[in-house]
Structure 1
Amino acid sequence: MSDLVATVGKLAPVALVFGGGVVFARRKIIGADTSKAFSDFAFLFAIPCYLAGSLYSSDLGRLFDPRAIAAYLVTALLGMLAVGFWSRRTTDARGVALRIMAGVQVNTTYFAIPVFVLLFGDASPIFPIILLQVCVLTVVVIAVMEFGAGQEHSDTPALGAALRGVQAALATPIVVACYLGIAGNAADVPVPRWLLDALSFAGNAAAPVALFAIGLHLGGTGLRLRGAARDEYALIAFKCLVFPSLALLIGKYLFGIGGSWLTYLVLIAAMPAPQNLFIFAQRYDTDVDLAAAIVAKTSLLALLLLPGWLLVAR
């Protein structure tokens, strides 16, 4: 019982900032539409600063643990196959890709990084997963989305559009920051102390701003409990319950991972669906309401379940 109380206490800052955003939006103190400005600040500036400085200063040998990365990759691939096989009979290629993204990808930047910083004082275990998710999983989703769009509009070259989407994914500030941090670390490039301090100062704003932005978004959209899509709650259950369970079983029993890394893998898998799920749904005009509902509901449910997953993983 004392462990549960201690865990909940560690998550109290997350709940406070997240809940503050919800309250501010609901009471119209700050408009929910301003959540995009907060999100853009975190996504385009604060989080890249945090990633670049932290990766440069990290021990890459410890950070990029091959077994842990392989375990997460196997978990993600199995999840993608399960969701894809289950949803292929009820929707088109774009709908399948969107559901795979909802069930397997996680909100690393807006949710996982602030949670890890508050729980462990360090979000570095998430960095390999960010690269894996953006450079592999998101690229697959983009390619399928573009292929589906090309099939619907026969005059659109699907391959060219997919390649442009892949290039855009690899050129996002977060990925570029990871590349710079890793390259500088590996090449032992001297970086002035004042610059590392500046990156740390800007990066420290990422956690509260990102969580507050999610709270504002959720407070403005609310939770739609009725009129849910047929597979909405199945996807939410898979994301918040089945996927972290897979990470636990595969990491512990298939790869023999224990200790801190097992905890990290399970908690990363237990994070909510990514916020850009809604962006992709809008861009490709597919299941927009479903995407918005899954982002909001998994964010709230993940926050409630995190203390339990932390205890189970330990």
Structure 2
Amino acid sequence: MLAIFLKTLPFFALIGTGWLAGWLRLFSAEATAALTRFVFYFALSAMLFGFAAALDIRQLFDPRFALAYVGGSTALWLLAAAAARSRGASASGSRGASASEAAMLAHTSVIGNTGFLGVPMLVVLLGPAAIGPVLMVLTIDLVVFSTLITLIVAAARHGRVSLGTLLPVLRGLIGNPMIVAMLAGLGWSALRLPLPAPATEFLTLLGGAATPGALFAIGASLALQPARLPGTAATLSFAKLVLHPASVALAAWLLAVEPTAAGVMVAAAALPVAGNVYILAHHFRLAEEQVSTAILLSTAVSILTLPLVIHLITKG
């Protein structure tokens, strides 16, 4: 346990360094946004392309794995949404959350920081065998659950889902550099062509900036987010850090998912709330304070919970 904690500590130390830089105003909001764009569009995309290009496509898509992750996450999603609707999780606290607000809170409970934290951390901690399962979780989060929350909010607000609602979702998926990078890498892998040495060096150099850049950007962005409504945030953090990995672990066990892949799935589910959840909350003007505080709190607490989960996984 101590050895794993020490291995994860440098990752969280980078997040803490970014937070300190943001808190001291040594790194402005504009600088944080620019660094995030660099990581999102360039460094992380290079890393994902390199991973996918060296991956057999059969290692990426495992129907049983996908069903277990989607099933376990959906079960928690429905539980969190029902709790928000019945327990008065709205900002005013005087009534149950609206359908769209409950959907956003449920989304918060199942979307982890797989792209910026999970990809670089879990591949280092769990080895190359984690690449396929981590990319699978990232794809499901980006394609399935991000689409789901958009459609639910549109249906709740307008009473229906129209073509005008679907087109922005499709444009967002097609234009997402992480999805594009993974598809391009898998396409290259399908051609069974070796990467030229200069291209390999380029991807290594650029992709090498993804881990420190992403972690620093996470910390700096956390320093800029408001921290309020701790009760709701604590509930959401508990759901994300404890209930989510437990739920997908149960689903993986029921569906007899291959043990190594199941372990990576559980570790990915144990990641803290993703920063892009706040982007969605801000865009839809839904539960912004609850979501931002949940991101901050779950990231801080995951310094302790994530090494424990990984320790349990490595012990079988």
- With normalisation by structure 2, the TM-score equals 0.88
The answer to whether the 8 A contact 2:270-2:309 is kept is yes
Distance 1:190 1:14 in 2: 31
Q: Which amino acid aligns with 1:312?
A: L
Pick the aligned partner of 1:44 from 17, 20, 41. Answer: 41
State how far apart, in whole Å, the 1-side matches of 2:197 and 2:154 are: 44
Q: 2:169 aligns with which of 160, 166, 169?
A: 166
Structure 1 unpaired stretches of 5+: 152-156
User: 3-state DSSP class of the match of 1:104?
Assistant: coil
Q: Alignment partner for residue 98 of structure 1, among 96, 99, 104?
A: 104
- The whole-number CA distance in structure 1 between the counterparts of 2:157 and 2:196 is 47
Q: Distance in 2 between the 1:121 and 1:216 partners?
A: 28
**Cα gap change, 1:92 to 1:161, in 2 (>3 Å):** farther
- The 2-side partners of 1:11 and 1:232 are apart by 24
For residue 161 of structure 1, report the CA deviation from its aligned partner.
3.4
Deviation at 1:250, TM superposition (A): 2.2
Question: 1:113–1:251: structure 2 CA closer, same or farther, 3 Å change rule?
Answer: same
Question: C-alpha separation between the residues in 1 aligned to 2:127 and 2:279?
Answer: 30
Partner of 1:148: 156
Following TM superposition, by how much is the alpha carbon of 1:275 offset from its aligned partner in structure 2, in angstroms? 0.9
Cα distance in 1, alignment partners of residues 66 and 3 from structure 2? 29
- Which amino acid in structure 2 is aligned with residue 119 of structure 1? L
5+ residue gaps in structure 2? 87-95
Q: Which residue of 1 aligns with 2:25?
A: 28
Distance 1:183 1:258 in 2: 25
- The answer to whether 1:86 aligns with 2:83 is yes
- Structure 1 residue 158, shift from structure 2 partner: 4.7
In the alignment, what sits opposite 2:117? 111
- Alpha-carbon deviations, 1:221-280, whole Å to 9, x = none? 3644xx43x63322221111111111222223x023454223201110001112111111
Contact 1:35–1:217, Cα closer than 8 Å, also in 2: yes
1:157-306 paired onto structure 2 within 5 Å: 158-171=161-174, 172-189=176-193, 191-221=195-225, 223-224=227-228, 227-228=229-230, 231-252=232-253, 254-257=254-257, 259-306=259-306
> Amino acid of the residue matched to residue 97 of structure 2?
T
CA drift of 1:179 comes to 1.4
Q: Contact 2:105–2:287 at 8 Å: present in 1 too? A: no
Contact 2:226 2:292 in 1 (8 A): no
What is the CA-CA distance between 1:293 and the residue it aligns to? 0.9
The aligned residue for residue 75 of structure 1 is 72
Larger deviation: 213-222 or 95-104? 213-222
Moved more, 241-250 or 118-127: 118-127
Question: Which amino acid counterpart does residue 51 of structure 2 have in structure 1?
Answer: S
CA contact (8 A) 2:104 2:281 kept: yes
Deviation, 1:80, is 1.9
Contact 2:14–2:212 under 8 Å retained in 1:
yes
Deviation at 1:115, TM superposition (A): 1.4
Q: Is the 8 A contact 1:143 1:165 kept in 2?
A: no
- 1:58 aligned residue (52, 55, 60): 55
Report deviation, 1:121.
4.8
Q: Determine if contact 1:49/1:177 at 8 Å carries over to the other structure.
A: yes
Cα distance, 1:233–1:12 mapped onto 2, change above 3 Å: closer
Distance 1:106 1:169 in 2: 19
Residues in 2 aligned to 1:160 and 1:288: alpha-carbon distance in whole angstroms? 27
Letter in 1 for 2:280: F
* Structure 1, 258-267 or 17-26: larger mean CA deviation: 258-267
Q: CA RMSD in A?
A: 2.1
Tell whether the 8 Å contact from 1:26 to 1:219 is kept in structure 2 after alignment: yes
Is the contact between residue 68 and residue 252 of structure 2 (CA under 8 Å) also seen in structure 1?
Answer: yes
